[in-house]
Amino acid sequence: MTSSRALGACLCLCAFAADAAEVVHNRRLESGQTVAHALRASGLDDATTERVLSALEGVFEFRKARPGDQVRVVLSDGVLDFLDYRRGPQDEWLVRRDGDRLVAAKREIEVEKRLAVVELEVTSSIWEAALAAGEDPSIATDLADVFAWDIDFYRDVQRGDRARALIEKFVSKGRVLRYGDVLAASYVGSTVGKKRVFRYELPGGARSFFLEDGSSARKTFLKSPLKYAQLTSGFGMRFHPILNYVGAHNGVDYGTPVGTPVWAVADGTVLRAGWDKGGGNMICIRHFNSLETCYLHLSKLGDGVRPGARVSQKQVIGLSGSTGMSTGPHLHFALKRGGAFINPLSQKFPRADPVPADLRSDFAVKIAPLAARLDAVPVAAMGLVPEQPE
Ligand SMILES: [Zn+2]
């Protein structure tokens, strides 16, 4: 039978093969839609829909069906030939005819986890460096996340800086499906110097990043109030903060496009969240040691960010904007101690707890191979390296 598989995935398409009345329906589950809805919308009558659902019973978890899942129904002369249901690249179910019965099974898709060293050289931004290296640019946000306490990926990144990540890649049929965890990362830059971090699992299962000497990669405050996001602007944008200590306008201005995610630099409690004539949409958060941060001119406040709410470090609390008395898109960021403005760029914040003393030797043993992999000269530019046995 003529194959008619090369069909678009988003719309319900019908393709009639030349030699048989084969009809293929491709659909995506829409929000609020059940699997049954999608099957009926794909041309199955009620009786067949029922039979498909009972065949899937016990094989497929209907609760986990969600918008975006793909259903492909192949009818032959108006009768269901087979059907597949796809949820992401690794989860696929097949319902096929077996005599008069319909049988369902989960398809086994072989996915291999490999460790790979990804090396990026910055020409304009870390995002573009990832694209230039043929990687998924999400690795840029992964790196920014790992180094968030020491590197501001908007303003500290310079042309010629190099970043490396030892990262898990999930591969199927030679194609990288997605990244897994970052196990180690390094950054060498003209502004930030050399930074290396290693992931280590503490007793109890908590995983955290540490420097080579066992001190924590985390600090009480993040380096920047702007979460790194997809921005292709590179150095052209005015990301360099402008210190502005004139009159009541105390703080740092980060010129940034409207919509840049703003995150809480430290754990705390929201003191105020709402409209201010000068500050526009504005959020202030109280932290430990009578420290307080404020984020002004936002285009949007995050859900649930209201006075009294607890927020955690790295939580996106809003999006940058140009509301209130603002001459252009920017984030005004202010830090106070005991009610008095202080310069956020010159503060030194303490690191979180280091690797406990009794685990230091285990830590050293565990990170040694990671360090060796991270620092090794890559064999091929971006080649995949098979995972080594533990
Ligand atoms: Zn300002």
Residue 290 lies in a domain: yes
How many other C-beta atoms are found inside a 10 Å radius of the C-beta of residue 227? 22
Amino acid in the structure at residue 350: P
Question: 333 with 247, same domain?
Answer: yes
CA of 246 to the centre of ligand 1 (A): 10
If you measure from the C-alpha of residue 273 to the centroid of ligand 1, how many angstroms do you get, rounded to a whole number? 17
pLDDT at 15: 42
Q: Is the pLDDT of residue 2 over 60?
A: no
1 part of a folded domain: no
Among 300, 308, 291, 274, which Cα is nearest to 347's?
A: 291
Do 59 and 26 belong to one domain? yes
* Structure tokens given for 29: 């589950």
Domain-embedded: residue 93: yes
Range among 61-75, 231-245, 347-361 with highest mean pLDDT value = 347-361
Closest CA to 223 of 191, 189, 182, 266: 266
Count the domains in the chain. Answer: 3
pLDDT tens for residues 161-198? 999 999 999 988 788 888 999 999 999 999 899 999 99
Give 341 Cα–ligand 1 centroid separation in angstroms. Answer: 13
Residues paired with 333 in a beta bridge = 252, 295
What are the backbone dihedrals phi and psi of residue 188, each rounded to the nearest 5 degrees, phi first? -125, 115
**302 φ, ψ (degrees, to nearest 5):** -70, 155
Dist. CA 177 → ligand 1 center (Å):
42
Q: CA 343 to CA 142: how far, in whole Å?
A: 28
Indicate if 67 and 129 belong to the same structural domain. no
242 shares its domain with 341: yes
Could you tell me if residue 163 is inside a domain? yes
248 pLDDT more than 80: no
- CA–centroid distance, residue 249 to ligand 1 (Å): 6
Measured in Å, residue 293 CA sits from the centre of ligand 1 at 13
Cβ atoms of 209 and 197 closer than 8 Å:
yes
3-class SS of residue 251: strand
Q: How far is ligand 1, taken at its centre, from the CA of residue 140, in Å?
A: 28
CA 244 to ligand 1 centroid distance, Å: 7
Q: Partners of 80 in the beta sheet? A: 75
For residue 170, report the distance from its CA to the centre of ligand 1, in Å. 44
> Do 86 and 117 share a domain, yes or no?
no
CATH label of the domain that carries residue 279: 2.70.70.10
d(CA 250, CA 150): 23
**80 and 116 both lie in a single domain:** no
Of 233, 249, 225, which is closest to residue 327 (Cα–Cα)?
249
Distance from Cα 251 to the centre of ligand 1, integer Å: 6
- Please give the distance, rounded to the nearest whole angstrom, from the Cα atom of residue 83 to the centre of ligand 1: 58
Examine residue 389 and state whether it is found in any structural domain, yes or no.
no
Number of H helices, E strands in the chain: 5, 21
Tell me, what's the pLDDT at 88? 75
Q: Are residues 125 and 96 in the same domain?
A: no
Has residue 383 been placed in a domain?
A: no
Last residue within a domain, chosen from 107, 123, 140: 107
What is the Å distance from ligand 1's center to 331 Cα?
Answer: 7
Percent of the chain with pLDDT over 70: 86
Contact partners, residue 130, CB within 8 Å, separation at least 6: 118, 120, 136, 137, 138, 139, 140
Cα 241 to averaged position of ligand 1 atoms, centre (Å): 10
Partners of 170 in beta bridges: 113, 178
At residue 256, the pLDDT reads 85
Q: Are residues 286 and 322 in the same domain?
A: yes
Higher-scoring residue by pLDDT: 380, 319 = 319
Domain encompassing residue 144 = 112-218+353-375
Nearest to 199 by CA among 371, 387, 388: 371
How many A from CA of 323 to the centre of ligand 1? Answer: 11
Residue 265 pLDDT = 97
CA distance 299 to 331: 10
For the entire predicted model, the pTM comes to 0.71
Provide mean pLDDT across the span 368-385.
Answer: 73
Are residues 357 and 333 located together in one domain of the fold? no
CATH of the domain at 213: 3.10.450.350
